[in-house]
């Protein structure tokens, strides 16, 4: 607690005709050596206001004003610099030898946070200025309403510190996770690990303080670069100061108890495409593999990047509605049941062959052959570029839709996935989250979606991609569903303004001066900008609906293993040969299985069949893994010869008019 | 001394006087001037050498602790009863101490609010109101009444006397407790106070030079003193109440300005040690020229710590003592 013995006046409000106090701003002076600085919260008591009573809740009659310091000035009684030169006889060294130090002033400007009483709103009285205590900070930031209510919704975010004093700062869960407001956006230069660390700490704080009466909460984190989020379940190194801050904030310093990792395979279909491949950890990573159905549902993601058109869209809809997962007659006598990319490719071949056999015709079931070719190219492209995420054959391995667990982090590692695949993963996961939350059958009531590099997914400029539209929808309507976006980016100005504008809570780490010169930061004073440009690691500026001014807070280092440290402590394993990778995956499901058993079983078997069988085992989780694997492998259709993607020859010279 | 500032009740007695029938007035003199030396040839007796000589100052002496004393006076006519003015005056004095951190802090201060008038010249009602108000009254002599110019000059002298008294009282109190390694620098002469004039570590710094102690070549040497030099030590003659030693000191070169530019007269106790220490003490005071006491127009002779004391005291003077813009407009138009 802030020691009340230290809470004597530290300054006094001054007002002149040129620098008057107003209802929203005031000026005060302090001694030269003061703990006051930019971002400090102060309390002004009007003469006759009386002192804080025990407990800090009520006061005697009189106006009390809370403010946050936004600007500081220092000057001496020196009329012109020339007089200093004359006094020192032109020698800078002699200036320091003057027997007397000139009178100087520390004059501060503060923005009003709150006035009590709030009505009538009046200029700030010319009273004494005190450093804010715990209770003052709670009142100044209007935290008292959700901190001490019957059903508290306070989420610790960090410690406000000034003048050697500190006080916890809380966010209101109603305004952080909905439904009143929602979403959080965090900006800051890269390389300081502040953004990721802040989100990790805040999610931990949410998991520990999210009120039970508001339901169950989970977090879905997209790991889009490096190993940042790969070790959330492992304890990191904390310093004593970090532990003290945890204790002060009422948050337990421990790694996340429940973390589920998902990562696609590499192109070989058996080695996971993640940095969490150390033998001790890789068993906790689940594969993320999708088939044709999952891709077709979000085909717009693949097509809208450059040349989407209504015809291609219509053809994809036709495939999804009329072809997929049902018997289909191609019009040339062929019967198809399309469940996989391979099936679909057979259908395309049949169509092209059929049209060629019929002679000069460019149309198939009202779809022009050029459109069909375009769609085929895009779909085959995704299965090539995202091989490992998208399987040519077989059903998918997916997130546990409908079985999300309370206070669990779901990390989806797409750091090494092609950008197109990242878009697909992001679009599909968020869309499925939305669908389930709408139906209230996800397993949790609120989901935090953490997306780094938001400027890539929702740029301020550029085309209207499916992902950008989805993020806009999420930021504008997600709070009603319990779908909350925690977005991070280096430059806020490069993110779509509706995405950042809808973030009820905005957090700023160290900022680049060029970024601070953009219009979005005009409301900040020059001193606040300078502070932002030089913020140390672990300090943030926070804007929250309850706070009328930005507040600087310090947060402890997250209690999880940092990505870089994790990679050093758990170095990723080298890719295993195909047979060994399959054997290891089966051994993880059943420790009785010996590698040689698996190797013997899959010898001379086509890899596609092995992958298909392995996927079936992972989905089924049978008691006798090896027997089931043998059965699935043996029962499957004989392996097809290795296919190479062949270009389909044109039916006839294509006219200039494609349709 | 040390009592609450006496201004709080000021308005009440002014209003009471006006309510009793005195006509309200607003007149502020040109300035609340400091003490002015007598413009007369006073004479001096050399105590160092046989003729007035010029000595270079010696560096190296810097007391670790020093204190600086100055006073202020402000006054204004607040009412007339007939042609008898009622003057409201404020005199104050303070000592600011400077330690190792080279910062000045107030160590002692005192102030008095006064009503200056001739009670016998007031009507019974006005006089009664003034006496009941409880303000300290400074009486003017009967001969001072009459033409306003003469009366106001008498009032100014009365206020100045009160200010000198306040300075003397504060100075003597502070000097009584002066630490062994601490010096007290007084703005003005020491000779008004026996205690100050006898103290080995009290200096008087005189900026005005109306009193003339030398004539002929000695006067020329004194007034053409080069910077960083002092004159021989002499014993001033004339109106001095208590014996002191004195010497001139030049802070800034006068060429291009006037003969008195940067010229100080230092007073110290009348003791042989003071003669021996004059060059060293002069070297210290020479160092005190920085920082400059700007924006005061007297900065060439005003030591910054003295300027600081004056600034401090003036900052605590009620605004009523300072002429406001438009204060000389007809009252009926205000």
What is the tens place of the pLDDT at every residue in A293-315?
Answer: 788 877 777 665 555 677 888 88
Task: Tell me the pLDDT tens digit for each residue of A161-196.
Answer: 987 788 999 999 999 998 888 999 999 988 776 899
Closest CA of chain A from B288, distance in Å: 6
Res A392: pLDDT: 66
Q: Is the dihedral of CA B143, B149, B155, B160 positive or negative?
A: negative
Residues A556 and A243: their CA atoms lie apart, in Å, by: 7
DSSP SS3 for B265: strand
Q: Please report how the helices A595-602 and A578-589 are oriented relative to each other, as an axis angle in degrees rounded to 10.
A: 130
H/E stretch holding A164 reads none
Q: Is the pLDDT of residue B54 over 80?
A: yes
**Chain CA centroid to CA A219, Å:** 10
State pLDDT tens for residues A214-263: 999 999 999 988 898 999 999 999 999 999 999 999 999 999 999 999 99
What does pTM read for this prediction? 0.79
* Tokens of residue A529, six digits: 């900008």
A187-190's contacts with Cβ under 8 Å and 24+ in sequence apart are A187/A488, A187/A489, A187/A490, A187/A491, A187/A492, A187/A506, A187/A507, A187/A508, A187/A509, A187/A511, A187/A515, A188/A488, A188/A490, A188/A508, A188/A509, A188/A510, A188/A511, A189/A490, A189/A509, A189/A510, A189/A511, A189/A512, A190/A490
Give the model confidence (pLDDT) of A25-61 as tens digits: 999 999 988 889 999 999 999 886 554 443 344 343 4
* Placement of tokens 């401090």 in the chain: B312
Test mutation, A31, A89, A93, A100, chain B, max B CBs within 10 A: A100
What integer best gives the mean pLDDT of chain A? Answer: 86
Instruction: Report the alpha-carbon distance of residue A160 to residue A166 in Å, rounded.
Output: 5
In chain B, residues with a C-beta closer than 8 Å to the C-beta of A100 are 98, 102-104, 288, 291, 304-305, 308
DSSP label at A28?
E
In the predicted structure, residue A439 carries a pLDDT above the cut 60: yes
Q: Identify all chain A residues contacting B311, using CB atoms and an 8 Å cutoff.
A: 77, 103
Pick B294's closest partner by Cβ from A79, A95, A103: A79
User: In chain B, what are the helix, strand and coil shares in percent, each to the nearest 5?
Assistant: 30, 30, 40
The DSSP bridge partners found for residue A486 are A184, A450
The answer to whether residue A636 scores a pLDDT higher than 50 is no
Show residues of chain B in contact with A77, CB under 8 Å: 311
pLDDT at A514: 92
Q: Is A499 helix (H, G, I), strand (E, B) or coil?
A: helix
Question: pLDDT-derived band of residue B288, with 50, 70 and 90 as boundaries?
Answer: very high
- End-to-end, the C-alpha distance of chain A in Å comes to 76
**Are the beta carbons of B66 and A99 separated by less than 8 Å?**
yes
- Interface probe for A, chosen from B291, B311, B315 (most Cβ of A below 10 Å), is B291
Local structure of residue A623 (DSSP, 8 states):
S
* Res A602 pLDDT > 80: yes
What is the C-alpha to C-alpha distance for residues A496 and A458, in angstroms, rounded to an integer?
6
CA of B182 to nearest chain A CA: how many angstroms apart? 14
Residue A292: pLDDT band (50, 70, 90) is confident
Q: Are strands A505-508 and B136-139 parallel, antiparallel or unpaired?
A: unpaired
Partner B contacted by A99 (CB < 8 A): yes
What is chain A's alpha carbon radius of gyration, rounded to the nearest angstrom?
A: 31
Short-list B18, B15, B28, B14, CA closest to B123: B18
Give the pLDDT score at A345.
86
Count CB-CB contacts under 10 A for residue A540. 26
- Which of A509, A513, A514, A484 has its CA nearest to residue A499? A484
Token pair of B170, please?
Answer: 């504060």
User: Residue A591 is encoded by which pair of tokens?
Assistant: 């420790």
Among residues 268-327 of chain B, which lie with CB inside 8 Å of chain A? Answer: 284, 287-292, 294-295, 304-305, 308, 311
Across A576-594, b (16+ Cβ under 10 Å) vs e yields: bebbbbbbbbbbbbbeebe
Nearest CB neighbour to B102, from listed A79, A80, A99:
A99
Cβ atoms within 10 Å of B4's Cβ, excluding its own: 7
Using DSSP's 3-state secondary structure scheme, residue B141 falls into coil
At B165, give phi and psi (nearest 5°).
-65, -40
Residue A403's pLDDT band (boundaries 50, 70, 90)? very high
- Pick from A110-119, A303-312, A476-485, B114-123: least confident: A303-312
Interface contact flag, B289 A78, Cβ < 8 Å: no
Name chain A contacts of B98, Cβ cutoff 8 Å: 99-100
Inform me whether the C-beta atom of residue A627 falls under 8 Å from chain B C-beta atoms: no
Q: How many CB atoms lie within 10 A of CB B64?
A: 11
For residue B271, what is the enclosing H or E element? none
> Would you call A502 helix, strand, or coil by DSSP?
coil
Reference A343, options A357, A323, A321, A362; nearest CA is A323
* A103 at interface of B, judged by CB pairs closer than 8 A: yes
> Contact A101/B101, CB-based, under 8 Å?
yes
Q: Which residues does chain B have within 8 Å of residue A105's beta carbon, measured at their own beta carbons?
A: none
């Amino acid at each position: 607690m802030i020691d009340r013995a230290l809470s004597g006046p530290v300054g006094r409000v001054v007002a002149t005709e040129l620098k008057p106090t107003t209802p929203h701003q005031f000026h005060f002076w302090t001694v030269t050596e003061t703990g006051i600085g930019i971002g400090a919260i102060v309390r002004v008591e009007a003469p006759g206001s009386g002192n804080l009573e025990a407990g800090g809740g009520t006061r005697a009659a009189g106006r009390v004003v809370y403010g946050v310091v936004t600007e500081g000035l220092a000057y001496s009684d020196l009329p012109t610099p020339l007089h200093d030169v004359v006094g020192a006889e032109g020698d800078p060294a002699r200036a320091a030898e003057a027997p007397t130090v000139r009178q100087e002033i520390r004059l501060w400007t503060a923005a009003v946070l709150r006035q009590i009483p709030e009505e009538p709103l009046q200029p700030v009285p010319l009273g004494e200025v005190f450093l804010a205590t715990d209770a003052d900070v709670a009142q100044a930031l209007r935290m008292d309403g959700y901190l001490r209510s019957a059903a508290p919704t306070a989420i610790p975010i960090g410690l406000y510190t000034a003048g050697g004093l500190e006080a916890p700062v809380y966010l209101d869960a109603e305004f952080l996770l909905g439904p009143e407001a929602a979403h959080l956006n965090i900006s800051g230069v890269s390389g300081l690990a502040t953004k990721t660390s802040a989100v990790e700490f805040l999610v931990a704080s949410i998991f520990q303080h999210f009120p039970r009466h508001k339901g169950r909460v989970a977090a879905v984190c997209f790991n889009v670069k490096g190993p940042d989020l790969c070790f959330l379940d492992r304890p990191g190194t904390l310093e004593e100061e970090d532990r003290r801050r945890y204790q002060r904030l009422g948050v337990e310093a421990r790694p996340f108890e429940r973390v589920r990792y998902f990562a696609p395979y590499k192109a070989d279909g058996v080695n996971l495409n993640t940095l969490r491949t150390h033998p001790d950890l890789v068993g906790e990573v689940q594969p993320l593999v999708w088939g044709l159905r999952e891709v077709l549902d979000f085909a717009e993601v693949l097509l809208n990047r450059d040349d989407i058109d209504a015809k291609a869209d219509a053809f994809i809809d036709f495939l999804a509605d009329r072809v997929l997962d049902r018997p289909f007659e191609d019009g040339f006598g062929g019967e198809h049941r399309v469940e996989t990319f391979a099936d679909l490719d057979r259908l395309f071949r049949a169509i092209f062959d059929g049209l060629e056999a019929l002679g000069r015709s460019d149309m198939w079931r009202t779809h022009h052959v050029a459109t069909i070719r375009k769609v085929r190219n895009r779909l085959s492209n995704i299965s090539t570029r995202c091989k490992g995420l998208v399987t040519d054959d077989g059903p998918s391995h997916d997130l546990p839709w409908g079985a999300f667990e309370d206070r669990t982090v779901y990390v989806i590692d797409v750091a090494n996935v092609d950008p197109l695949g990242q878009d697909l993963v992001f679009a599909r996961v968020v869309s499925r989250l939305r669908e389930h939350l709408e139906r209230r059958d996800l397993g949790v009531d609120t989901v935090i979606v953490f997306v780094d590099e938001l400027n890539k997914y929702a740029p301020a400029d550029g085309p209207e991609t499916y992902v950008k539209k989805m993020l806009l929808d999420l930021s504008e309507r997600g709070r009603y569903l319990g779908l909350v976006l925690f977005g991070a980016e280096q430059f806020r100005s490069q993110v779509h303004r509706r995405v950042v504008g809808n973030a009820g809570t905005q957090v700023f780490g160290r900022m680049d001066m060029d970024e601070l010169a953009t219009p979005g930061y005009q409301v900040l004073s020059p001193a606040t900008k300078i502070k932002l440009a030089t913020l140390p690691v672990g300090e943030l500026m926070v804007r929250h609906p309850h706070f009328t001014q930005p507040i600087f807070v310090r947060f402890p280092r997250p209690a999880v293993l940092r990505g870089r440290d994790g990679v050093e402590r758990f170095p990723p394993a080298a890719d295993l040969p195909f047979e060994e990778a399959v054997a290891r995956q089966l051994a993880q499901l059943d420790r009785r299985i010996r590698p040689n058993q698996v190797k013997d079983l899959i010898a001379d078997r086509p890899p596609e069949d092995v992958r298909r069988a392995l996927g079936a085992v992972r989905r089924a989780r049978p008691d006798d893994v090896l027997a089931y694997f043998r059965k699935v492998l043996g029962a499957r259709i004989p392996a097809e010869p290795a296919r190479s993607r062949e270009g389909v020859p044109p039916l006839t010279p294509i006219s200039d008019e494609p349709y | 001394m040390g009592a609450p500032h006496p201004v709080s009740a000021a308005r009440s007695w002014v209003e009471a006087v006006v309510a009793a029938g005195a006509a309200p007035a607003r007149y502020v003199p040109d300035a609340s001037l400091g003490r002015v030396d007598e413009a007369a040839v006073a004479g001096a007796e050399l105590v160092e050498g046989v003729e007035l000589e010029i000595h270079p100052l010696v560096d190296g002496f810097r007391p670790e602790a020093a204190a600086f004393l100055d006073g202020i006076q402000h006054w204004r006519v607040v009412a007339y009863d007939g042609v008898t003015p009622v003057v409201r005056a404020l005199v104050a004095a303070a000592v600011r101490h400077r330690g190792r951190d080279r910062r000045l802090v107030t160590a002692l201060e005192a102030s008095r609010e006064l009503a200056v008038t001739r009670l016998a010249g007031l009507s019974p009602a006005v006089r009664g109101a003034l006496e009941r108000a409880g303000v300290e009254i400074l009486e003017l002599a009967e001969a001072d009444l009459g033409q306003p110019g003469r009366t106001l000059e008498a009032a100014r002298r009365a206020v100045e006397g009160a200010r000198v008294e306040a300075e003397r009282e504060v100075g003597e109190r502070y000097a009584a407790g002066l630490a062994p390694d601490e010096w007290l620098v007084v703005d003005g002469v020491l000779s008004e106070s026996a205690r100050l004039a006898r103290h080995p570590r009290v200096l008087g710094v005189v900026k005005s030079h109306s009193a003339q102690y030398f004539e002929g070549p000695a006067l020329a040497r004194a007034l053409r003193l080069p910077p960083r030099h002092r004159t021989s030590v002499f014993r001033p003659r004339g109106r001095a109440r208590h014996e002191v030693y004195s010497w001139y000191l030049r802070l800034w070169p006068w060429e291009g300005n006037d003969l008195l530019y940067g010229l100080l007269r230092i007073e110290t106790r009348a003791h042989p040690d003071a003669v021996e220490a004059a060059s060293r003490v002069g070297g210290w005071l020479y160092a005190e020229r920085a920082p400059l006491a700007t924006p005061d127009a007297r900065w060439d002779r005003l030591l910054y710590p003295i300027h600081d004391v004056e600034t401090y005291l003036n900052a605590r003077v009620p605004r009523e003592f300072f002429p406001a813009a438009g204060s000389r407009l007809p009252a009926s138009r205000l």
